[in-house]
């Protein structure tokens, strides 16, 4: 079933307005600005002059409606809603600004605007073959970029220099852009799970955590590797091996039928027995058009993993003023196991 049909099946209102760019792409294959109007009887793409040709090319099956001057978005949306005789209209209340919502409501006095309530997010969870191919390509690019920079990074370089090298190689290999803000965090910065790369030179004896991804057809990959510089001492080495073992346990626990909360607990119990309280974030998350999607691989998640899920497994240990380590792969759940999309090795590398 294509994405539009799946969305129509799930539509529990007379019509829906879609504004979130990733949902425009997911539903219509369209990457420009504008919005979608979807009802049982019609599906239209509203945009302005700048995107008309692009819309024709990318979304040929959609009725194209061009905004201009008097015929602005609220007026054209009103025409669509009235033509469809829609009384209840789904809108992305978790995306529209308050001002945009108020304007819509003013333009549609006869309609009840109700939250779309995570329906596209739920439907996007299970990836089809072409989506999986894009994620795997993005993952292969990120993995290969990591391997390419290893011989070129050394103590004395700054976190920002490593970040730039990594992002350059991903672009060279065909990434549309970083999947998210690349994290490069060495030494004490490694104890901050989402550190911003700084101008601080990396010192010998430190661990460097690199969390990054590539983008292909809008689909993202997510991976983390932690590498050592010079000779890494026994304390950091033990942290590294603890995370590595926990991550492997998480991968072993993931698969069709596995409960997300159980995958999380597997990693967490292993780490908590050795470094209590040092692993404060979730074990993983879905990956797709967004870097963070459903399902969450978190302690309280009862979601059962199914074929077509793309999730990360990324436990970490963070010790303030000592350092940190995280190891992450993006895996695809299949009928009989998982495909690990990330090929880069996980033995401790000392550069
Ligand atoms: Mn991640």
Rounded to the nearest angstrom, the distance between the alpha carbon of 297 and the centre of ligand 1 is 11
Rounded to whole angstroms, how far apart are CA atoms 195 and 220? 20
Note the pLDDT tens digit of each residue in 25-61.
Answer: 999 999 999 999 999 999 999 999 999 999 999 999 9
Residue 146 lies in a domain: yes
Residue 237 and residue 276 in one domain:
yes
Note the pLDDT tens digit of each residue in 199-216.
Answer: 999 999 999 999 999 999
Of 69, 100, 123, which one is at a domain's C-terminal end?
Answer: 123
Residue 20 lies in a domain: yes
Residue 87 and residue 138 in one domain:
no
Rounded to the nearest angstrom, the distance between the alpha carbon of 311 and the centre of ligand 1 is 9
Q: Is residue 344 classed as helix, strand or coil in its secondary structure?
A: coil
Residue of 118, 79, 91, 100 whose CA lies nearest to 13:
91
Residue of 278, 285, 320 whose CA lies nearest to 192:
320
Rounded to the nearest angstrom, the distance between the alpha carbon of 251 and the centre of ligand 1 is 14
User: Total structural domains in the chain?
Assistant: 2
Rounded to whole angstroms, how far apart are CA atoms 166 and 234? 28
Rounded to the nearest angstrom, the distance between the alpha carbon of 17 and the centre of ligand 1 is 30
Structural domain including 153 reads 129-340
How many beta carbons lie within 10 A of that of residue 202, not counting itself? Answer: 26
Rounded to the nearest angstrom, the distance between the alpha carbon of 292 and the centre of ligand 1 is 7
Rounded to the nearest angstrom, the distance between the alpha carbon of 29 and the centre of ligand 1 is 25
Q: Does residue 304 carry a pLDDT above 80?
A: yes
- Is residue 203 left, alpha or beta, with left meaning phi > 0 and alpha meaning psi from -120 to 50? beta
Residue 345 lies in a domain: no
Note the pLDDT tens digit of each residue in 151-165.
Answer: 999 999 999 999 999
Residue 99 and residue 143 in one domain:
no
Residue 78 and residue 112 in one domain:
yes
Task: Say which CATH number the domain at 204 has.
Answer: 3.90.230.10
Residue 287 lies in a domain: yes
Rounded to the nearest angstrom, the distance between the alpha carbon of 139 and the centre of ligand 1 is 12
Check residue 222 and give its pLDDT. 98
Rounded to whole angstroms, how far apart are CA atoms 286 and 292? 6
Residue 172 and residue 65 in one domain:
no
Residue 156 and residue 301 in one domain:
yes
Residue 67 and residue 154 in one domain:
no
Task: Tell me how long the chain is.
Answer: 351
340 bridge partner residues: 331
Rounded to the nearest angstrom, the distance between the alpha carbon of 138 and the centre of ligand 1 is 14
DSSP letters for 200-261:
PBPPTT-EEEEEE--EETTEE--EEEEEE-SSPPHHHHHHHHHHHHHHHHHHHH-STT-BHH
Rounded to the nearest angstrom, the distance between the alpha carbon of 336 and the centre of ligand 1 is 24
Residue 152 and residue 64 in one domain:
no
Residue 159 and residue 119 in one domain:
no
Maximum separation of any 2 CA atoms in the chain, in Å: 71
Q: What percent of the chain has pLDDT over 90?
A: 97
DSSP letters for 300-338:
T--PBP-TT-EEEE--EEEETTTEEEE-BEEEEE-SSSE
Task: Say which CATH number the domain at 36 has.
Answer: 3.40.350.10
Rounded to the nearest angstrom, the distance between the alpha carbon of 12 and the centre of ligand 1 is 32
Rounded to whole angstroms, how far apart are CA atoms 218 and 126? 16
Rounded to the nearest angstrom, the distance between the alpha carbon of 273 and the centre of ligand 1 is 23
């Amino acid at each position: 079933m294509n994405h539009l049909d799946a969305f129509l099946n799930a539509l529990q209102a007379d019509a829906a307005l879609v504004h979130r760019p990733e949902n425009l792409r997911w539903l219509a294959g369209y990457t420009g600005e504008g919005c979608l109007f979807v009802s049982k009887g019609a599906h239209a793409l509203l945009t302005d002059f700048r995107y008309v040709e692009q819309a024709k090319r990318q979304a040929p099956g959609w009725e194209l409606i061009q905004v201009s001057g008097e015929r602005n978005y609220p007026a054209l949306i009103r025409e669509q809603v009235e033509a469809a005789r829609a009384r209840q209209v789904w809108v992305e209340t978790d995306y529209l600004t308050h001002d945009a919502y108020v304007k819509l409501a003013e333009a549609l006095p006869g309609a009840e605007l109700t939250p779309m309530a995570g329906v596209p997010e739920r439907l996007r969870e299970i990836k089809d073959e072409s989506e999986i191919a894009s994620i795997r390509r993005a993952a292969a690019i990120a993995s290969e970029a990591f391997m390419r920079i290893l011989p070129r990074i050394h103590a004395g370089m700054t976190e920002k220099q490593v970040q730039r090298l990594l992002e350059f190689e991903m672009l060279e290999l065909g990434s549309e852009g970083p999947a998210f803000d690349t994290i490069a965090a060495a030494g004490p910065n490694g104890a901050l799970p989402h550190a911003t790369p700084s101008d601080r030179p990396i010192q010998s004896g430190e661990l460097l955590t690199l969390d990054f991804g590539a983008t292909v057809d809008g689909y993202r990959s997510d991976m983390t590797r932690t590498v050592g510089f010079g000779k890494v001492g026994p304390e950091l080495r033990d942290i590294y091996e603890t995370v590595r073992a926990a991550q492997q346990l998480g991968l072993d626990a993931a698969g069709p039928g596995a409960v997300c909360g159980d995958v999380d607990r597997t990693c967490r119990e292993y780490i908590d027995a050795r470094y209590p309280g040092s692993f404060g974030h979730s074990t993983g998350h879905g990956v797709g058009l967004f870097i963070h999607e459903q399902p969450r691989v978190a302690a309280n998640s009862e979601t059962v993993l199914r074929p077509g899920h793309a999730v990360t497994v990324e436990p970490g240990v963070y010790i303030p003023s000592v350092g940190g380590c995280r190891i992450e792969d993006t895996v695809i759940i299949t009928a009989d196991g998982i495909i690990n999309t990330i090929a880069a090795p996980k033995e401790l590398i000392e550069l």
